[in-house]
Amino acid sequence: MWTTLETTHEGTTQAKKSKVNMLISDFENFEMHESESISDMFTRFTNIVNELNALGKTYTNYESVQRLLRCFPDTWDPMVTAIEQSKDLDTLRLDDLMGNLITHEMKMKKKESKRKTKKDESRKKDVAFKAKVDSEEEDSDRVKS
């Protein structure tokens, strides 16, 4: 009876091995998507790790932390380097790592928002200046005529 239930929920031994191999590949090739938030990325990563655990394949906390630190795009390199140099990666818990990364993400979003606001204000000034210059040119053209 137990074997039947196990096969029904986990599949045959061959199917289980195939799924484990696929998940190991997902773990090893894990990357953060370009517009993905830290929370969404962490949820995807946790799902892979939990499925592997359920199928009997476990990674140490250190291996998981290392994998996560290698998944970020180049823009995150300074933060990754800071974490690697300031934290003991052997004892760093995933939730502590995620807390640091989420805090950094919020700061990056705030800076980006400020940059966009300044850029928008600069564009408005340029448009207003251009409109004023264009109207002055029109006035001088009328005077010449």
Residue whose C-alpha is closest to residue 53's, from 19, 3, 30? 19
pTM: 0.69
Q: Helix (H, G, I), strand (E, B), or coil: what is residue 32?
A: coil
Max Cα distance, the chain (Å): 101
Question: Could you tell me if 36 and 29 are in contact, meaning their C-beta atoms sit under 8 angstroms apart?
Answer: no
Mean pLDDT by 10 residues, the chain (145 residues): 66 84 97 93 96 94 96 93 94 94 92 83 63 61 59
Q: What is the pLDDT of residue 119?
A: 75
pLDDT number for residue 141: 63
Q: What is the pLDDT of residue 82?
A: 95
What pLDDT does residue 53 have?
95
